Structure 1
Amino acid sequence: MGDTKRNIKGQGTFVEMENGKILHRKYVESDIPGKRKVLTVRGDNRAICVKLMKKKEKAWEERMALINANPDETVADLCKRHLEFQVQNGELKPKSVDRREDTIKNQIEKYSLGYMQTQAVTPADIDNHISALIKTGLSPSTIKKVVDVLNAALEWAAVRNELHRNPAKSIKKLIMKRLSKLESKSAAEADVIVLSEEEEEKFLQETLRTNDNNGELKYSGGLYGRLLLHSGMRVGELISLRWKDYDKENGYIVINKSTSFCRNRNASENEAKYIAVQGTTKNQKARVLQLFDEAIEDLDMIMNEKGGGPDDLICRTKNNKQYSATMMEHCMGTVYKNAGLDDKVSGLHILRRTFATRMYENGADTKEIAAYIGDLESTTMQYYIAARKKVIVGGTVKQIVPRPGYRINKENEKIRKGDAPAGNRNISE
C-alpha cells in the first residue's frame, strides 16, 4: 500500500494502492450499539471515490432509517408482522396461517424472548429459548416449527435491512441437530407408530359395531375411518370428495382438492368462528387412485348407509353436514379406546402411516407408495413406513427389526401358496 492521507475531519481516509487505485474509507454510525461501521470504496481517483462513497452512505442511511423505524419492536411483534406480510402476499394456506398464529401465541409470545427488542436478540437468546421449550416437554417436531417461524421472521427483517443480521441463522443448524437427537428412538420404541396387524383387525371390527337397540352402526364416522386406512388419503382430501369423483365401474377415485376448517377472522358475533376452506391438495399432489378392493367395499357400505347423488359429499354427518377433521379425530379416538388399542394409538395420521407400511411390507417400493399417498419419497420413507414391527413376546410388547430380506421372503411365500402378487392383495393381511 501507498501513503495514507486524511482530509478534514469527517471525510475519512484515502490510501493510494500499489496499482495506482485509491482506497477510500469512512466511519459511520453502526447498527450495533456502541460500535462504528467502516464503509470502503475503490476508484481511479479521489473524485470517483467521493462519488461512490456518497452513494454508499446514502444506502447505509436508508438502512439505518429502517432499523430505527422500529427500535422497540419485540420478537413477537416481528413474527406477527411477518405473518401479516405472508398472508397479504398469499404465501400460506389458511390452515397454515392458523398454525403459525398458534405457534407465535403459545411458544413465542408467552416467553421472555417474545418480549425482547428484536435489535437486541443474540444467538444465545435463541438457544436459551429453545432450551426453555424443551424443558416444558414439547415434542421436538413442535419446537422445530418454532425455530422455523423465528428464523423466517428474522431473515425477512434482515433481507429488508430492518435488522443488521439474523441471530437465528448461525445457530439454527446446531439447534436442529440437537432436536433431532431428542427424536431418536430407544430399542423399545417404534420408529414410526402404526397399527400392528392385531390392532388393525380390532380397529376394523370396532368400526362396524352396531347399537343393540336399533342395529344401526355405533360410530357415525366409522366407515370413513376404514376408508382412510384402506386408501392412505389425508383427512382433508377425504372430506372434500363427492360421489362424482368416484368411478365405481373402474374403481378409480379423483383426489384433487383438500378441505380444512380455519378461523373466520372477520366473523361477527352471530357468525361461525370457523369456516370450511377448500384448496389444492398438500404439495399439489393431485392424483387418480386405482382403489384396493377394501376401499371399494368401504365406499359401497357408505353409499348403502348414507346414500347421495353425484354432487353430494361422500363424508357427511347424520344431519347431512360436512364432516370436519376434528369431528373425525374425535370419532376415531372413541373407536381406538373402545377397541382397547395401545395408548400411543391416536390421531388420524396413524391410519395413513399404517396403509403405507402395509404396502411396503407387501412389496411396493417407496416411489410407488409416495405417488399413491401423494407425498415425497424422502418424507414417505422417513415418516410413513415403519421398519420395526410391533410383536407381543411373553405378554410384553416389543419393537422388532425384521431380518433383511423379510419383505422378499414374505412375497415369495405368498407366490408359493398361489396368492396374488403384492399390490392386488388385501393390504390388511
Structure 2
Amino acid sequence: MAVVSGPQLTGLERLPTEAILIILRFLNYRDLVSCRFVCRRLYQLCSHEPLWKMHCKRYWLLCENDKMKHNVSWMELFRQFYCNLGQYIEHYAELKEAWENLKKFLGLNCPRMITSLNVGLTEQELALVEQRIQFKLPKDYRCSLRIHNGQRLVVPGLMGSMALSNHYRSEDLLDIDTAAGGFQQRKGLKHCLPLTFCIHTGLSQYMALDEVEGRKPCEIFYHCVDHMAPDPSVADMFLTGSSFTEWFTTFVFNVTSGHYPIIRDQIFRYTHDERCVARTGDIIVSVSNSFLPELSSVHPPHFFFSYRVRFVGIPYSCSPDSVVLLRLSPSILAIGDKFVMSLGELGEYQSYVMTLLVKDASVLADFHPKHVKETNLFGQALRIHRICSDEEDSNRHQRH
C-alpha cells in the first residue's frame, strides 16, 4: 500500500471552500478540532461559525438567544459548555430535552409540580456525595442531577401517583442528599441507591450501583421481599429500567404523549393498549391498567393491578335509571375520569360472576338496549350491557 506523504495533502487546496465545508459538516466535534491542526486553510475553515452552531445545537441544545446571552462565538460557546459539562456530552442533550419537555407539559397541566423541582448541582457537590457513599454515580444520573437535583418531598410526586378507595401512592424523585441517606449496605439491597420515595407507602425505586446479588449496574427496580425464602433478607425485583436515561426518558415520553393520564393534577401511571378498546353502539370503552408493586410479590406469585375503564363519546340524554354492567374478574377496581366504579350488588344480574354497577347515566352513551359486545381486554372478559327504561326504549325505536 502506498504511503501518502505530507505534501500531497496540499491537494485540498484544489477543492473549493464550499466543498470542504460540506465535508466538514460530517465530522464530529473531536475530528473538527483535530482538522484545525492539519494546515492553515483547514484551521480557518474548521472555525467556520455555522459548523459550531450545528454542534452547539446538537450537543447542548443552544440557540441564538443563548449565543447573545453569552456574547461569544459559536465555537467559544461550545468550548465553554464542554469545559463545564464535557464528561456528559453523550447524555446531556437527551436528558436536557426530556427535562424541558416535561417542564413544558407540567406548566400546562400540573403547574404546582414545577415549583417542587430543585436546581441542578455542581461537580463539587456531586463529588462530596460520591465520597459519602464511596461509590461513583452513573454518568447519565450525574448529568440529570446537574440539570435538576430531583424534587422536594411533596404530594403529588413527580414520578406518578395511584389512588384507590383505600390505597394511595405518589412517588417523589429524590434529591441526591436524601437518596444518599437511603443508600443501602444491607443484604438484599446491597449497594443500591433509592431514586424515588412514596411518603405514604414507603415504596422506592432503587438503582444498583454495583454488580452484586444478581443485579447489573444501573438497573432500576422495585424491591420485593421473597416470602418463600428461608432467609428473610432474600429479595426479588420488579425491573423498571436498565439505565437512568432509559428509565427517565421513557417516563417523560409516556407523560408528554398523553399515555399517562392527568387526573386531579396528578400523573397516573396507567398503561393503555390501543387494542384494548371495545365499542357497543355509540359507547367506546377503553381499558388501561397500572401495576401495583407495593402489593405484589414474585414468591409467591401475586401480582396486583388497578384497572381504569373510560367511556368516550357520551351524550347527556340518558335516563337516570339506566345502568351499565361490567363483567370483570373479582380483584379489579376501576377508576374513571368522572366516577369510581365500586363493587355493586349482584341483584337481578346474579348470573354474572362479578358485576360492577354504574348508575350514573350522565357518563353513558345512548345506544340500542340489549346490544352486547364482548372483547378480551388485558385477559379479562368485558361485557357492556345498557338497560333502558321502557319509555326510553320506546323513544329510541321511534327515532329509528
Q: Aligning the two structures, in what range does the TM-score lie when normalised by the shorter sequence?
A: under 0.3
Between structures 1 and 2, the one with greater strand share: 2
Bigger relative contact order, structure 1 or 2 (CA pairs below 8 A, ≥6 apart): 1
Give TM-score, length-normalised by structure 2. Answer: 0.26
Between structures 1 and 2, the one with greater helix share: 1
